[in-house]
Structure 1
Amino acid sequence: MAEPKCSIEGCEKPQRYKASGWCGMHYARARKYGTPDAKVREYTAQTGTCRAEGCDRPAQRKGCCQAHYVRLFRGEKDALATPISTQTKKTCTLDGCSRTHVARGYCDLHYSRMRHKGDPGGLDFQEKTPRPDKCHGPECDSPVRAKGYCSAHYRQWREGQELVPKLSFAPAGSGHTNKNGYRVLSVTVDGVRRSVFEHRVAVEEALGRPLLPTETVHHVNGIRHDNSTDGPLILDERGRLRSGNLELWSHAHPRGQEIGPKLDYARGLLALYGSTEERQRFAEFARHVVENEGGEDGSDGQAT
């Protein structure tokens, strides 16, 4: 069955609206103008040159070139009588300089000189002072990074410290304090060098094992770079498992609601955190805590 055509005479477009029998175009005209037969302005391609006197640019809008049409659109007086400038880009007025004009007859370079020194100067450019090959720091022949110093001595100079030889710096592996205030050490594990927090290393050495994902280290006095310890981890009068300024926290908890697994989990906590006697007595139950929390892995622990 052939597709019905628009009911408007002379229109071969397919019918879109059955109620009216019109195509989409005539339906839109009826909605906008009140009748599908409304006459709409047809686009006429612009040909020839601009109608402004003396302008040979191609016509684009209303018989005008783009420049004259803009003037006409703005309502300028004698818009079509004003010729379009054919002047090329200005250049710097200083003899021998072909840079583009920026202000007051000068290019950006000579205008800047005129503003700051009162004289545009010549065509010469200020030569940069050659950078020295070696650091000016004491007993240092490292390459220069900035201000005549290597990276290490430049940091000392910038922070107002006394310049000291590199041999006086902290030995490799002694660590540093990061921007958050924590001490960070560089260690080698299985041939791979990695950065670790000093407070985690101290607690792991006291425990004799890596920290669990559920364990974190808290600084008792709130000073993050104070990782002082005073022996093994011991429960104090408040029930804090600590050594010096470092306290071990745990947010582990058993799963489920049955009593038996919870008792095994409690014995596992004694195996991990109890006294020496309790750790030995309930050692076999430690797996109930470790396996429940995804294994021994201290990579996700945080510090406060």
Structure 2
Amino acid sequence: MRFALLASAFLFASPALAQDDRFANVEIEVVEVAPNVAVLFGQGGNIALSHGDDGNVLIDDQFAPLVPKIVAAVEGISDGPVRFVINTHHHGDHTGGNEAMAEAGALVMAHDNVRKNILARLAENGDTSGTHGSLPVITFDSSVDLHWNGETIDIVHVHHAHTDGDALVFFTGSKVLHMGDTYFNGVTWPYIDTGNGGSIDGLVKAIASALARIDDSWTVIPGHGPVATHDDLHAYHDMLKTLRDGVAAAIAAGETLEQVQARDLTAGYDVEDGFISGDKFIEVLYNQLSD
């Protein structure tokens, strides 16, 4: 399964040897989805690669021990270094390679809150220098365009969705969209990081905003899980909206969490009980919508 357990995504304090052992058997699978865009599947968040005459751009970079394998996969597609890394949010399974990529010459870009959240994580581990190599060096508030490899790569912040710093990345010429972790495609129920500004309402709005910009000619890259279509993303939006509204109605009727879970609202959807189970997802919705 391509989906890496998110519980391991944030463990940066593990010894280096243990980290290397954990990733020793990971292979990077490359799938071309457009003439200049590929997806790299490994362990952690799905990576998108823009390649062409201007050089290589990565969307997310998984874990630090995987960087040599990621670089080798890139070199198998396109000569030259990685020029930019764009983080879709701050979680470690999407940003763990930042430092190594930066040391190799890449410029890391992300929303303002990604930098703030990585700074906070570093401070918890005793690093208050504010100069760590994992930090984005180019940040933006609402959106930024990168004109690269013959197209506009439109990077758009979506508010309080999976986290408070999510970005959707539109490859406008190639008609490819990287959703980051605003979209988990079938491999687990959604993880809404409420401790870092995530919310169900923001998540539904984020997906609706993406759907408003694409049609069925687009390819959709989720944060985890297989490559998807416009229709897949639309079904995901409708599922989230239905579950949110169902939990809200149950709360309004005075039902307890246990009563709502007993309704089995998640039954019938083609989603695995991965890192987040159906019951846990309903619990997150219940707690948030009860506030």
Tell me the TM-score range normalised by the shorter chain: under 0.3
TM-score by length of 1: 0.17
Q: Which has the higher helix share?
A: 2
Q: Which has the higher strand share?
A: 2
Higher relative contact order (CA 8 A, sep 6+): 2
Rg (Cα) greater in structure: 1
